[in-house]
Structure 1
Amino acid sequence: MTLSASGVSWSAGGVEILKDVSLTVETGEFLGIIGPNGSGKTSLMSLISGIRKPKRGEVLLDGCPIGTLGRRTVAQRLALVEQQAETGERITARQAVELGRTPYLGPLSPWSPEDDAIVGAALANVDMAHLADRLWHTLSGGERQRLHIARALAQQSKILLLDEPTNHLDIGHQISLLDLVRRQDLTVVAALHDLNHAAMFCDRIAVMQAGRLVALGRPREVLTVERIRAVFGIEVEVEHEFDGSCSIRYRARRPRPLAAIAAVGA
């Protein structure tokens, strides 16, 4: 199962949000997309998921233009977890995860014990089985986010798209969920804010800046001091580990001494 974008561009309100972006997601890899707010991460996720149609270029899912495939076909091959997905319906946590089985249900394929088992396993994987009967509106933001992940796992697609999946989660659940996703037999594309998460879990990282793809490669190739400074405007130290991985240490901007400020103004 392959997913690729070829020269895709997208505009909103007369403003070009994405500009000639091309990338191919390798089967079985964990691809991270990073970049500052407004760099085009979410817009790119919307295009490669088929939610939006590019103004120029095309997105191919398993070699076929994604816009030519039916919604059920796309949903059976690709699952998306968006940043914000809420409902006003009075549904339980389990019922929210059961929605992941919708692409497989029909008059000739009603709900089955196998569907029950898949949903139960997905709830257990995100540590939400004990809250399966709780109503959606009584759950915290972090609990709802974990259910979104469970719903995507219950969908059993081969490609999983995650748009900032660790929003609202405490650090323990951030790490455990990314680790869970990494251990699945899936192709994963995740838009991430935390550079250390990208370094820790991603096979490759795509860097977005002002709507353009400015770098694509392995974490230690992409996460350099110079590139992080140029893209994010921050100073860091990058530590390289013996196993080829790397980690980012952020350096706080120190206020200028009062004497130096006075000297400048003199």
Structure 2
Amino acid sequence: MLVRDVSFTVASGEFFGIIGPNGSGKTSLISMLCGLRKPRTGTVSLDGEPLAGLARRALARRLALVEQQADTSERMTARQAVELGRTPYLGLSSPWSGLDDAIVDAAMGNVGMAHLSGRQWHTLSGGERQRLHIARALAQAPKVLVLDEPTNHLDIGHQIGLLDLVRHLDLTVIAALHDLNHAAMFCDRIAVMKAGRLVALGRPAEVLTTRLIRDVFDVEAVVDAAEGGTCSIRFAPARRMAAE
């Protein structure tokens, strides 16, 4: 998807959501925000520095990405998968240490996977693997955590728990989200994408209106105000096709 005319700034410590229908450009935008894809025009900067000028190792120490369908074919344990997050910090002059062990332990504990530390990767469910990918990202000790639809393959309890976890971390979080109610519950601000363009930007309660949901997602909904300036969304059943 070609992304055009998108401009915004994410504040330090903010949980910033990116929403939009399938094919709206969310994943393309995430790729550019992480330096995986270079924009043809414009600049993506981190703390005022263009990503294009940062070495990969230096960027990996400041920004961690959890992709939508991240996976590995390697035969490894759950803990070994999370240990990969420490790679940007290791070298001939900085071998693995007790600090690395402690960081990995904390990351696995944060996502509720410490008890599966010794399990082989190929025996884990899709949801367990996704939680470990997030633990691997946390093991990088980044300042910015970027998530591309992180709740894929998780049941509702783990979806809420995971988003609540990252919401309370001392990190800047940028997340492409599929569920509008998740965006309304957890995000400080949201950017709404449609056909590769930014069509709305602001606090969830200000942006997620009945009209916008109809125009962008082509569904009818009722938006109710909730505590703390958030909102909740009730979707109406889809109208039956005339041919039926």
For this structure pair, what is the TM-score category when the shorter chain's length is used for normalisation? over 0.9
150, 158, 169: which one pairs with 2:135?
150
Return the structure number with greater strand share: 1
1:243 is matched with 228
Give, as a single letter, the amino acid of the residue that structure 2 aligns with 1:128.
M
2:88 corresponds to 1:103? yes
Name the SS of the counterpart of 1:114 in structure 2: helix
TM-score (norm 1): 0.89
114, 131, 134: which one pairs with 2:116?
131
* Structure 1 residue 257, shift from structure 2 partner: 9.0
Once the two structures are overlaid, the 10-residue window that deviates more, 130-139 or 185-194, is 130-139
TM-score (norm 2): 0.97
Alpha-carbon separation, structure 2, partners of 1:90 and 1:43: 30
2:122 corresponds to 1:122? no
Alpha-carbon separation, structure 1, partners of 2:37 and 2:240: 44
**1:148-181 deviation per Cα after TM superposition (whole angstroms, max 9, x unaligned):** 0000111110000000000000000000000000
**1:161-209 deviation per Cα after TM superposition (whole angstroms, max 9, x unaligned):** 0000000000000000000000100000000000000000000000000
170, 194, 197: which one pairs with 1:185?
170
1:169 is matched with 154
189, 204, 208: which one pairs with 2:193?
208
2, 6, 9: which one pairs with 1:24?
9
Once the two structures are overlaid, the 10-residue window that deviates more, 164-173 or 241-250, is 241-250
Query: Alpha carbons of 1:150 and 1:256: their partners in 2 closer, same or farther (altered >3 Å)?
Result: closer
**1:49-103 deviation per Cα after TM superposition (whole angstroms, max 9, x unaligned):** 0011111111111111101110011000100000112111101100000011111
Long gaps (5+) in structure 2: none
Name the SS of the counterpart of 2:44 in structure 1: strand
Determine what percentage of the aligned residue pairs are the same residue: 70
Alpha-carbon separation, structure 1, partners of 2:241 and 2:149: 35
Name the SS of the counterpart of 1:110 in structure 2: coil
61, 72, 75: which one pairs with 1:90?
75
Name the SS of the counterpart of 2:17 in structure 1: strand
Alpha-carbon separation, structure 1, partners of 2:208 and 2:71: 34
RMSD of equivalent CA atoms: 1.4
Name the SS of the counterpart of 2:224 in structure 1: strand
2:144 corresponds to 1:159? yes
Give, as a single letter, the amino acid of the residue that structure 2 aligns with 1:28.
G
**Count of equivalent residues:** 244
Higher gyration radius (CA)? 1
Alpha-carbon separation, structure 2, partners of 1:189 and 1:117: 26
Once the two structures are overlaid, the 10-residue window that deviates more, 53-62 or 186-195, is 53-62
Alpha-carbon separation, structure 2, partners of 1:244 and 1:54: 35
**1:115-141 deviation per Cα after TM superposition (whole angstroms, max 9, x unaligned):** 101101111111111111111111110
